[in-house]
Chain A
Amino acid sequence: MSTTAPVAAGSVVDPTITGRLGDSPARPDGVAKVQGSFAFSGDLSADGFLWGATLRSPHPYARVVSIDLSAAWKINGVEAIITAADVPGKPTYGLISQDQPVFAAEYVRFVGEPVAAVAANHPDTCRRALEAIVVTYEVLEPLTDPERSVDGSFPPIHPDGNVFRHQRIVRGDTSVTGEVVVEGDYEIGMQDQAFLGLEAALAIPDPGGAGVELYVATQWLHEDRHQIAACLGLEDEQVRLTLGGVGGAFGAREDISLQVHTCLLALRTGRPVRIAYSREESFLGHVHRHPARIWMRHHATVDGKIVKIEARFVMDGGAYASTSSAVLINAVTHTQGPYKCDNAVVDGWAVRTNNLPCGAMRGFGVVQACFAHEGQMDRLAAACGLDPVEIRLRNAMETGDRLITGQVIENVAPVARCILETAALPLPDEPVGGHDGDPMRLPGGAGLTADRSHIRRGIGWGVAIKNLMYSEGFDDYSTARCVLRDGVASLKFATSEVGQGFVTIAGQIARSVLGVDDVVLEPIDTTIGSAGSTSASRQTWMSGGAVDGACRLVREQLFAHVGSQHGIDPLRLAIDGRDVIDTMGDLRVPVAEASAGVTFEETFEHHHRPTEDLDEDGQGNCHTAFAFVAHRAVVDVDPELGLVKVIQIATAQDIGRALNPLSVLGQIEGGIAQGVGLAVMEEIIQTDGRVRNANFTDYLLPTMLDMPDVLVSLIEEPDPMAPLGAKGVGEPPCISSTPAVVAAIRDAIGKDLTRTPVRPSDIVF
């Protein structure tokens, strides 16, 4: 059968785009995305492809007694039906521990867990086939309260037990007490990444089933490949992945969802197979932000200096491990926030329940910790009679301070500067309740629920520290290849472009290092070494470092070539504009001319410095690097109806260096949108393990009309540890924006709020 290979996302190149580091060139995929011509993974097709679909568990916890496929097989057009019995390789997968079945075998452990998959000639045939599969379940009482996983009162729902990880941190003198003590219980709801481009993949089998090619929207091609190959019983090299156009990720594409199913169906039928999730299926089919309950007690001196923190974290990881253990470590190691603290006792659990599985989402555990520690800072300010800015300045962390893990902060750490520059940004000139005549500036907006006299304004603060890159001894790296010929640089990497803009940055790096205008980006696939995951705010640092390294090696070759042609020591050569110049003489040769007919090629792996595991007291240099941010939120609240309009968010962010200022602003505004969402509306609601709002009617995301004005101050202190001086900027904007908004609501209504998202009823009652 002939197949047409789809166009890969990374090969979209606009030759009119130029721009070097520090500029803000247009995205190479920008116009296509705006015009609707960009091929997202959901748009992929191949000649003669079959549709795939997934049968999912309707129960949060049940034993699978039997599966009867006979009626489904009788449906005309059904080409394959597969269950756990048809998985040729490893029956389970997972990023850290492989505890999640490709298909449920003995037990289903959450509503939505895959039980079978079909391939057929039409989506309707798939639907009828799924309906015809008869699964007999013995329904069991589900474990939905994470505290029962902690206290061990519920029998194990998985052979690996009900606790993913417990981590204790003990630091300094734990007998110390403060003259001022404040404590609070905090709760964070389950947020969804809610990317717009739904999960979709196209698998094309090799003739004879020798291997398979998968086009998929993912965050980490090589890790996907490794897990897929293991489940298929193939070698990694027999599985080739190409990035399908990604419509957002935010952590939800780190785990396997439809990858193995799609490949299995393709190998079973010998035909291309395509699976595309619906929105409802997407809510069930990927991991979410961990709901968390956090208790914190801060001890301080009368003048507000923190002397000890005690804390307890319980994070509900749902049915399977995903990255729960790493999310927990991020949460507990960020207990203190961006503040000095010498003494601490922290206990944290990430546990298994029959709720939806949770894993990575932008902020990765730090969002939860920050909501609690920022609530505590406001309590401490009140107890000490200080304002929210002063309490934070008095405790602000600096380079050289230690985390409660004992790790020294070696990065640039401009915490006080973040706070002061945020405070210096102007407050809105708009009166409380907005200017006359525009209901959209009032809480309730188009619903015309309020008049200006009903509205109260509040101001709140949030400040955060966020680790960058992976932790706990993982040898993290990224790979890039650079080829220079005839004045054109070609770049090859497997870095997932999920919308963050690495395809723009990569070209800027090559133009800056090599003095070229034209940069070609090769397809993003597994024919080169791993780039690691597009997560943990790491790609500009890691893949940026790899592209920079490869380009610099090519530049050395170019200088050696020019040097030998002209009898000049290559060390005297430099790039000036588009030319190679002799810094000690008159030679000036255009790069295009110097590379005419010659090919220079180099591949470079960038590794970050090694990290360590934590010991049993939670001590160790487990993180790679850190970034900091401050947010100040201004909100208008209708206290009688509990409706909120976020008016303005001001932020100063420690970014190291703005390689592409427009792209940085995009990350900041987008992250704030997600932070505002978690503050006032975004939550997956489950009752007894069943999701009640797996759609965009009831899972509400902020729209343009809910977005506040955003004022930004970029703090550029290039970090010596970062290859380009630039810190990751993706996660910090969504971390402390949430507590800032909630603090502003507290300020407006004069009432304690300890849960996010804040629901109207939390304000009213």
Chain B
Amino acid sequence: MSVTVAHTLDDALASLAATPTATVLAGGTDLMVELNGGHRRTDAVVSVNRVRELRSWRHDPAAATLHIGAAVTYAELAAEPLASFAPALAQAARTVGSPQIRNAATIGGNVGTASPAGDGLPVLSALDAVVHLASLAGRRDVAFAEFATGPKRTVLQPGELITGITIPVLSGYQGYAKVGVRNAMVIATASACLAVDVPGRSVRLALGSVGPVILRAPEAEALAVAAADFEAGAIDADAVEAFGAAAGRAARPIDDHRSSAAYRRRAIEVLARRLLVRAFPGTPGGE
């Protein structure tokens, strides 16, 4: 097995161009498990977690965006200052594995692995993140919704590397919730991210572990926008119920050894309702 440790983005892209079948290694928290378990083999590895450009992040106040390099770790996302720019991403980050895993695992790896259970992904979906890709041939941006095409399948081409993501810094509540059978360090049975853009009058709801890719719930989103009092931060109880039901309808869960489709759908209904109440805790009409 050949291992190339890249120190610059150009190094990394050149190595990938030379060996397009090479496996990209960042935190290794997915890859090493697969290699050690004999579930995956690779002849060439390009390590990117020492590439400075991939390890950095940048807040653009004018554009109200946050660019996060692909090799930024979950430990960094969970802590300030990043946590304040993307609170839901910080909440999701805190559910990832153990402290040791969070110190190694990267957001780029989460995006690239494209598991429907990826903890950070519902947040990126709800925030309409843009995924930045680069190869020696050039750079391109892909909307998060277009990036994953199925479980662990993406539009990433051979020789192409995820360099980072850009998300909007929204004004409004955002929250993440994840159901697993253990109280921490557990794979998601179902997860959801709700993000509110108060000035933009939008409510976004993304669902994890209940479909081949991360799903949005457009019917639920529209229902919430119609029912919510954005200024008072309030919504009535009937709308909350309807929102949960619509979220459940958006889910496309399966039965497997981790859970049943029926439970996953129910969990999505409950998480959606609870997140909406957290976003709009006030009583309609004010007090």
Q: From B13-21, B59-67, B256-264, give the one contacting chain A.
A: B256-264
Q: How far is the CA of A132 from the CA of B198 in the complex (A)?
A: 62
Query: Max chain A CB contacts within 10 Å: which of B178, B258, B274?
Result: B274
Option from A440, A454, A692, A760 in Cβ contact (under 8 Å) with B189: A760
A706-B183 in contact (CB<8A): yes
Binds A, one of B149-157, B211-219, B231-239, B265-273: B265-273
Q: A278-B37, A760-B259 are in contact. Are A447 and B185 (CB under 8 A)?
A: no
A643 proximal to B (CB < 8 A): yes
B177 on interface, CB distance cutoff 8 Å:
yes
Instruction: State which of A127, A279, A440 has its C-beta within 8 Å of the C-beta of B183.
Output: A440
Among B38, B258, B260, B263, chain A packs the most CB atoms within 10 A around the CB of B263
Interface size class for chain A?
Answer: 35 or more
For the complex with contacts A700-B182, A706-B184, 18 further pairs of A-B residues with Cβ separation under 8 Å are A279-B37, A443-B183, A444-B183, A446-B183, A448-B91, A448-B177, A449-B177, A449-B179, A451-B274, A642-B263, A643-B179, A681-B181, A698-B258, A705-B185, A759-B181, A760-B189, A761-B262, A761-B263
Give A contacts to B, CB under 8 Å.
Answer: 127, 278-280, 440, 443-451, 454, 640-643, 645, 680-681, 685, 687, 692-693, 695, 697-698, 700, 702-703, 705-706, 759-761, 764-765
7 contacts between A and B (CB under 8 A): A280-B37, A440-B183, A444-B177, A447-B180, A450-B274, A641-B179, A692-B256
B257 touches A685 (CB 8 A): yes
A376 to B75, CA, bound (A): 48
A760 / chain B contacts, CB cutoff of 8 Å: 179, 181, 189, 259, 263, 267
B144 sits at the interface (CB 8 A): no
| Cβ distance A642 to chain B, nearest Cβ, rounded Å | 7
B159 interface residue (CB < 8 Å to A):
no
- Give A656 to B151 CA distance when docked, in angstroms: 57
CB B180 to nearest CB in A, in angstroms, measures: 6
Query: Which of these, B178, B185, B262, contacts A449 with CB under 8 Å?
Result: B178
A439 vs chain B, min Cβ distance (A): 9
A760-B181, A764-B263 as given contacts; A449 in contact with B271, CB under 8 Å: yes
Most buried by B among A444, A687, A693, A705: A444
Q: What's the least CB distance linking B42 to chain A, in Å? A: 13
CB-CB nearest in chain B for A279: B37
* Given A645-B183, A698-B187, A700-B186: A447 and B95 interface contact (C-beta under 8 Å): yes
Q: How far, in angstroms, from A446 to B189 measured CA to CA in the complex? A: 14
Any A CB within 8 A of the CB of B175 = yes
Please, which residues of chain B bring their CB within 8 A of the CB of A759? 181, 259
CB distance from A634 to the nearest CB of B (A): 16
Chain A residues within an 8 Å CB radius of B175: 448
Given A447-B95, A695-B37, A761-B262, A641 contacting B267 (CB threshold 8 A): yes
Candidates B94, B184, B278; contact of A703 at CB < 8 Å: B184
Contact indicator per residue, chain B 184-219, by CB within 8 Å of chain A (1) or not (0)? 111111010000000000000000000000000000
Say yes or no: is B85 at the interface (Cβ < 8 Å to chain A): no
- CB A100 to nearest CB in B, in angstroms, measures 25
Query: Contact at B270–A447, with CB atoms within 8 Å?
Result: no
CA distance A446 to B38 in the complex (A): 31
B residues in contact with A680, CB < 8 Å: 181
Size range of the chain B interface in the assembly: 35 or more
In the complex, chain A residues whose CB is within 8 Å of the CB of B176:
448
- Least CB distance, B276 to chain A, in whole angstroms: 13
Cβ–Cβ < 8 Å partners of B191 in chain A = 447
A449 CB contacts on chain B under 8 angstroms: 177-179, 270-271, 274
Interface of B is mostly: mixed
Nearest Cβ on chain B to A506's Cβ, whole angstroms: 36
CB-based contact B38/A127 at 8 Å: yes
Residues of B within 8 A of A446 (CB): 94-95, 178, 183-184
Q: Give bound CA distance, A564 to B260, whole Å.
A: 79
Chain B, residue nearest A761 (CB): B263
- With a cutoff of 8 Å between Cβ atoms, the chain A residues found around residue B278 in the complex are 451
Distance in Å: Cβ of A42 to nearest Cβ of chain B: 14
Residues of B within 8 A of A444 (CB): 177, 179, 183
Residue of B nearest to A702 (CB): B182
Check if A640 sits within 8 Å of B178, measured CB to CB.
no
The 4 closest A-B pairs by CB, nearest first: A445-B183, A692-B257, A447-B178, A761-B263
A698 to B256, CA, bound (A): 11
Contact B185 A703 (CB under 8 A): yes
Given the complex, which residues of A lie within 8 Å of B183, measured CB to CB? 440, 443-447, 643, 645, 705-706
B182 to chain A, nearest CB (A): 5
- Find A445's partner among B184, B257, B274 (CB 8 Å cutoff): B184
The minimal Cβ–Cβ distance linking A137 to chain B, given in whole angstroms, is 21
In the complex, what residues of A have CB within 8 A of residue B184's CB? 440, 445-446, 703, 705-706
Residues of B within 8 A of A687 (CB): 257
Bound Cα distance from A279 to B37, whole angstroms: 8
Q: How far is the CA of A760 from the CA of B189 in the complex (A)?
A: 10
B259 touches A761 (CB 8 A): yes
Q: Chain B 246-257 against A: per-residue CB contact (8 Å), 1 yes, 0 no?
A: 000000000011
Residues on the A chain within 8 Å of B258, using CB: 698
**Bound: A274/B181 CA distance, A:** 37
- C-alpha spacing A450/B183, complex, angstroms: 12
What residues on A are CB-neighbors of B178 within 8 Å?
446-449
Q: Which of B30-52 contact A (CB under 8 A)?
A: 33, 36-38
* Min CB–CB distance B199 → chain A (angstroms): 25
Question: Which chain A positions have C-beta within 8 A of B274?
Answer: 449-451, 454
Identify the closest chain A residue to B188 (Cβ).
A447
Q: Could you tell me the distance in whole angstroms from the C-beta of B283 to the nearest C-beta in chain A?
A: 15
